[in-house]
Structure 1
Amino acid sequence: MGLYKTTILPRLTHWVCSQSDISKLRREVVPQAKGRVLEVGIGSGLNLPFYDPAKVKQVWGVDPSYELRAVAEKKADDLAFDLEFIGLSGEDIPLEKNAADTVLVTYTLCSIPDVLRALKEMNRVLKPGGELIFCEHGNAPDEHIRRWQKKINPIWTKISGGCHLNRPIADLIKESGFKIRHLDTSYSSSFKIVSFIYRGMAVHGKLFLTIIKEKHR
């Protein structure tokens, strides 16, 4: 597993996550990020070309994979904004409370071991009024697809670096304290077991309730 984990898996991950259907979605969601951005699961830096340099001041890129970060680091000198790498998983983010204007996660929540803890950390780091922008694959709406996801998932997680096919992404985001303001769901390719996409934006749940209350005063 040593050679597979350090050499084959990073290259396979980069190749899979570079596919045209995934790149198309990155191109649509990443430019929404603004200000000081926390990207959890920066990987090999596939989102970096899609940031809008006129809107982004700084990016913190969190990822536990040294091999993938090494690929992303090669792109850092050509960027029009500051990029700082943090070699950790998302469960313990070494940033102060309210540090980020935007949190971005793309094809990341599937593989974080303690995904709820990581989402709560993102909630902690995000400023009031900030946005969680997400584009993730997960649990499909069709029962026959879900059955296949459940059947294949134990093997899939072992060969894919911990990626889960059937996490209920929207439910996890809401359970962690966020309020989803916008959500689009669809299959992004004919390979439906891995391509049901949750794409949208969320804010602090407490902030959302405050806004609603103020509107009704």
Structure 2
Amino acid sequence: AGVVLEVGFATGKNLPFYPTSVREVLAVEPADLAWDLATRRIEAFAPPVTRIGLDGASLSLPDDSVDVVVSTWTMCTIPDLEQAIAEFRRVLRSGGTVRFVEHVAAAHPRARRIQSRLQPVWGKVAGGCHLDRDIVAMLAAGGFDVRLLSPADEGRFELVPFIAGVATPVR
């Protein structure tokens, strides 16, 4: 896995799941409290973990510098997700991937309408979270080929469906 960029590092809960092939983790985390809470996990993790910024839409990294971008439950809250996706693409090395687990806009029409109605309040009480983002479409529009590892709601009535997937830049 080489160099991993984790956007939305939070308290470092993903660290135990990284393979031994990870050489370094570059963390983007806007919340100082979450970063402070991650200290124990970071100290227990063998490769270095470095906090490199607060916003996935503005990465202070050179082009082609990371092997994997990881985002778990984060793309919903990035204010300028289109720019963040462009940054993911810019910093990924050839053959690199974005690996993600995210909640997404519901496919069921009624659930989607409810999401849209809830969004103005939800965004304020849930730290800027967007219930109704179509993450797959946004990644595709940003030049990624997306392969889902677990589907969303498949048309069932779910207010907060989620997906897991791998996105590869189309070169």
> Given the two structures, how large is their TM-score scaled by the length of structure 1?
0.74
Please point out which of 91, 94, 105 is paired with 1:139. 105
Is the CA contact 1:139–1:168 (under 8 Å) kept in the aligned structure 2? yes
Structure having the higher strand fraction is 2
**Equivalences, count:** 169
Residue number in structure 2 paired with 1:43: 10
Shift of 1:191: 9.3
What do the CA deviations read for 1:123-178 (whole angstroms, capped 9, x no partner)?
Answer: 10000111111111010111111111111111000011100101001000011111
User: Quick check: which has more Rg, 1 or 2?
Assistant: 1
The one-letter amino acid of 1:197's match is: F
Corresponding residue number in structure 2 for 1:150 = 116
Aligned residue for 1:75, secondary structure, equals helix
Structure 2 match to 1:174: 140
TM-score (norm 2): 0.93
User: Which stretches in structure 2 are left out of the alignment for 5+ residues?
Assistant: none
Aligned mates of 1:81, 1:51 — CA distance in 2: 10
Q: In the alignment, is the contact (CA less than 8 A) between 2:3 and 2:25 conserved in 1?
A: yes
Q: Which has the higher contact order (CA 8 A, sep 6+)?
A: 2
Dislocated runs of 4+, deviation >2 Å: 181-184
TM superposition shift of 1:199 = 1.2
Identity among equivalent positions (%) equals: 37
Aligned counterpart for 2:68 among listed residues 90, 98, 102? 102
Cα deviations by residue, 1:93-150 (Å, 9 ceiling, x for unpaired): 0111010011111100000000000010011000011111111101011111111111
Q: 1:183 deviation in Å?
A: 4.6
- Cα RMSD after superposing both structures: 1.6
Contact 1:98 1:125 in 2 (8 A): yes
Matched-pair contact (CA < 8 Å) for 1:170–1:198: no
Partners of 1:172 and 1:73 lie apart in 2 by 33
Match of 2:22 among 50, 56, 71: 56
The amino acid that maps onto 1:47 is N
1: CA distance, partners of 2:52 / 2:37: 14
